[in-house]
A and B are shown apart, each in its own frame.
Chain A
Amino acid sequence: MPAVIVYSNASLPTFFGTFPIFRQIFIREQIDIVHGHQAFSTFCHEAILHARSLGLKTVFTDHSLLGFADASGILLNKLLKFTLSDVNHAICVSHTSKENTVLRAALDPQQVSVIPNAIIAEQFEPDLGARDPSWVTIVVLSRLVYRKGIDLLVVAVPRICQLYPRVRFVIGGDGPKRIDLEQMRERFMLQDRVELLGSVKAADVRNVLVRGDIFLNTSLTEAFCIAIVEAASCGLLVVSTKVGGIPEVLPRYMITFAAPEEDDIVEALSQAIARVDDRPNHPELSPQWFHSQVKKMYSWHNVAERTERVYRQIIDVEEPPLIERFRRYYGCGLVAGKIFCLIAAIDFLIGAVLAWLWPKEHIELAQPFASEKYQRIVNQNRLRHHR
């Protein structure tokens, strides 16, 4: 897509600019359902708007939690209301996220499904050999920013190091709060016990995780938190702040909760450290068992199946008339409702102009992908490789 990156992988909204190209894609690929992700993505909002103008079905997945008090929350909630007032179905990644989205966009909760994220469990297998048995290693992997609760980490690390001489920390990730961590490490002379890895590539995450016994997550807000699932899959005991959707994610024997408060985090970590020593005596706490359980809980197959169910549910819904769409947009707010109607109307008109400029019949349809043939070639290649 021809879009200029403005700031940290984000492009400016173009409103109608992407319509022609989206229309070409939709028609060429014979799209029936457009599924957009992430409330912060302008691309997603535009794609859904244009798809609705062309009369396609739309689904939206929300991955974020937002409060109602700050200015960015208020603005984004309005935008979300705009997009969500005309989608056929919305998907949230946790029940808390669903409550949040329903409130933010004033949706009918029956129109919102909860389908959690998943991991490829095969990529997060425990490796007992990677641990150093003379230490209890606590792993932290997150962006080092305020929202991830790094302030809590900065105060908890020296206290834990003082309480338990056998404990060390491995902290992966980068961000503005890294300076705080480095200062803390210098100040308490913890260079040999706190390892700062900097940013960790996605492929290396597992190798860092398996070095640890405990995974610590100090987030202040989190819709789902895939990191703790990955850590549990690698067989780590998880300690996490009890915020957002986190309480729904893992069973109690895998996770120890803490309030986002210094003392409570130290307390929860102490409990987890005690459980590390206890682990060999309990088969249900073994890393292998953790892995097999997480594998059962979260798989992409399951996600795909459930998402497909959503698609099937909406595909036969009768398309409401245009005036009904306007009525929905109009209900979004005293001023915003009118602006939304205007945008939707202009988009609809542009759609009509585009249909006249490039009639549907003149757009070449894409050939269906010959997946059987592809599979055959792949298999042949694999056999050849083995020989």
Chain B
Amino acid sequence: MKIMPTRIGVPFLSRRRDNLSDAAVSGSPPTRLSPLSHGLDDTVEDIPVVLKKSNASPVRTGFSRFSPLKSAGDAEATNGLYLATSRTAAVDATASSTRPTVIQPRRPWRKLLYIKQEYPDDYVDDTFLMELQKNANVRMYDYSTVVIQTTVITQHLSSIMIFISVFINLYRGSLTGRTLVWCSSMSTVLGFVFWDILNMYLRTPEQRIVRLNLIKGAMFFALLLFGLSPILRTLTEDTSRDTIWAMTVIFFGVNLAFHDYSTGNLTNIRFPGSVSLNAAVLASVLLASQLNNNLSVFAFLSFALKWFALFPIFRRYLKRISDAASMATTMVLALMATALFMYINKAVALLHIFSSLFITFVCPLWLIWVQRYKNEINGPWDEARPIVHRYFH
């Protein structure tokens, strides 16, 4: 979808017309116009200015303080009208250029500083704001595309919900650390195989990574985490539980806000994404410190790392290869989160359903509706962007 660059109308026309006619009457002494001495260009250009006086539409008043952009719409209409009349006038003029009683107008105003012009310094010409462009590089969205794009947000929201429900189950004892370790390890292995195949398929630079090294790194990391889990378990013993819950909510909010939702970047975790990951890890450590045995802490934290560092990568790959698969994942995650929360708190589950639906179906409509208020202004005053080819580099 593309949008036509619209030239804004000049809302100062009525006033200026007023100006000009005054000047034409009282200003320069009336002389006879001879096309020979003036050149044809001047005749065509100048005569309409004089004739315009007679065709002028009623002068609008009450303009004392206005935003030039607000009245753009109706000014455009006036502008069109004016152009039409002046054009016919020009034809008239060339047809009968020997009309005897035409007053010679002033030389047309030029947008220059180095010449002395017979116009006052506060003169406003027709060409005022001529070079202004409105919404020249705005991209219009269409509904279905935006709906598909929102899936990344609902996916992430659902994944946070699932993560919290896993914690609650672990906390209540309905899920043991051992089960969680097995489940998360199995899914990680599956994800790894999937990732490997996809790298071959998409020919991304990651296929060069030596798999053995990756596995070695993962093992080392798991052992380290296992050794640290008793420390992490007792980390916030002196902090009140309410504080922990509140902080967790804040950090998950940060995670949601800064998550890297773009699909372009498959492996690297860069600035906003890194903030998001850090917030998630912090929240998980806070939650893990509320658990009561070391194995649970280890299981929960390793699950947290996989869930927040690796699972988004998986989702990005999926999005890259097919929209349908991504949609399916969204559905599965949303339903899973709802189902898990049904046992914990029905209100939260319902809230989750509604917010997912809202984000997926209502927010795109909202965005498209709000686009009508888009008011991007470009003009000669904008800072130019230097274009450099660097032939020598």
Give the interface of A toward B (CB within 8 A).
65-69, 85, 89, 94-97, 99-100, 102-103, 106-116, 147, 149, 151-152, 155, 158-159, 188, 218, 220-221, 223-224, 241, 243-245, 247-251, 259-263, 297-298, 306, 309-310, 328, 331
Contact = CB atoms under 8 A, between A and B. Distances in A.
20 contacts: A67-B382, A85-B65, A99-B128, A100-B379, A102-B68, A103-B69, A106-B69, A107-B65, A110-B124, A114-B113, A115-B121, A116-B113, A151-B386, A220-B385, A241-B384, A249-B113, A250-B114, A259-B387, A297-B115, A310-B121
Contact of A108 (B66, B115, B132, B380): B66
B132 A243 contact: no
A318 B129 CA distance: 30
Given A68-B377, A99-B381, A159 B391 contact: yes
B6 interface: no
B111 interface: yes
Interface of B: 12, 15, 63-69, 111-115, 120-122, 124, 128-129, 131-132, 376-377, 379-392
Contact of B377 (A95, A103, A147, A263): A103
A91 to B, nearest CB: 8
A306 B113 CA distance: 13
A65 B121 contact: no
A112 to B, nearest CB: 6
A192 B112 CA distance: 40
Contacts of B391: 155, 159
8 shortest interchain CB distances as A-B pairs: A113-B121, A65-B381, A260-B384, A261-B387, A100-B381, A106-B67, A221-B383, A297-B114
Given A94-B113, A95-B111, A109-B124, A158 B392 contact: yes
Contact of B382 (A188, A221, A245): A221
A243 B380 contact: yes
A154 B53 CA distance: 54
A103 B15 CA distance: 18
Nearest to A115: B121
Contact of B129 (A103, A263, A310): A103
Nearest to B70: A106
B60 to A, nearest CB: 13
Contacts, number: 129
A155 B380 contact: no
Contacts of A261: 386-387
B132 A113 contact: no
A111 B377 contact: no
Nearest to B19: A110
Given A114-B113, A262-B387, 15 more contacts: A69-B376, A94-B113, A100-B381, A108-B66, A109-B68, A109-B128, A110-B15, A113-B122, A114-B121, A116-B113, A220-B383, A220-B384, A243-B383, A260-B387, A310-B121
A193 B24 CA distance: 58
Given A112-B122, A328-B65, A188 B381 contact: no
B89 to A, nearest CB: 25
A218 B69 CA distance: 31
Contacts of B382: 67, 221
Contacts of A223: 381
Given A100-B379, A100-B381, A221-B381, A106 B66 contact: yes
Contacts of B379: 96, 99-100, 103
Nearest to A106: B67
Contacts of B386: 149, 151-152, 218, 220, 260-262
A69 B133 CA distance: 13
Contact of A155 (B67, B113, B383, B390): B390
B52 to A, nearest CB: 19
B380 A248 contact: no
Contacts of B128: 99, 109
Nearest to B131: A99
A249 B112 CA distance: 7
A174 B39 CA distance: 51
Contact of B132 (A99, A155, A220, A221): A99
Nearest to B111: A95
A103 B68 contact: yes
Contacts of B390: 155, 262
A155 to B, nearest CB: 5
A328 to B, nearest CB: 7
Contacts of B65: 85, 106-108, 328, 331
A117 B245 CA distance: 63
Contacts of B377: 68, 103
A95 B124 CA distance: 10
Contacts of B385: 220, 260
Residue of B12, B64, B68 with most partner-chain A CB within 10 A: B68
A111 B122 contact: yes
A67 B67 contact: no
A97 B389 CA distance: 30
Contacts of A262: 386-390
B3 to A, nearest CB: 17
Given A99-B132, A151-B388, A261-B386, A68 B66 contact: no
A191 to B, nearest CB: 17
Contacts of A243: 380, 383-384
A243 B112 CA distance: 14
A261 B385 CA distance: 8
Given A103-B132, A155-B389, A248 B68 contact: no
A109 B63 CA distance: 11
A100 B385 CA distance: 18
B270 to A, nearest CB: 21
A2 B64 CA distance: 39
Contacts of B381: 65-67, 96-97, 99-100, 221, 223, 244
A115 B120 CA distance: 10
Contacts of A241: 384
Contacts of A306: 121
Given A152-B388, A155-B389, A109 B380 contact: no
Contacts of B69: 103, 106
A260 B387 CA distance: 6
A170 B149 CA distance: 53
A248 B67 contact: no
A249 B380 contact: no
A115 B116 CA distance: 11
A260 B15 CA distance: 36
Contact of A309 (B64, B121, B124, B380): B121
Nearest to A151: B386
B386 to A, nearest CB: 5
Contacts of B66: 106, 108
Contacts of A68: 376-377
A259 to B, nearest CB: 8
Contacts of B113: 94-95, 114, 116, 224, 245, 248-249, 297
A114 B12 CA distance: 17
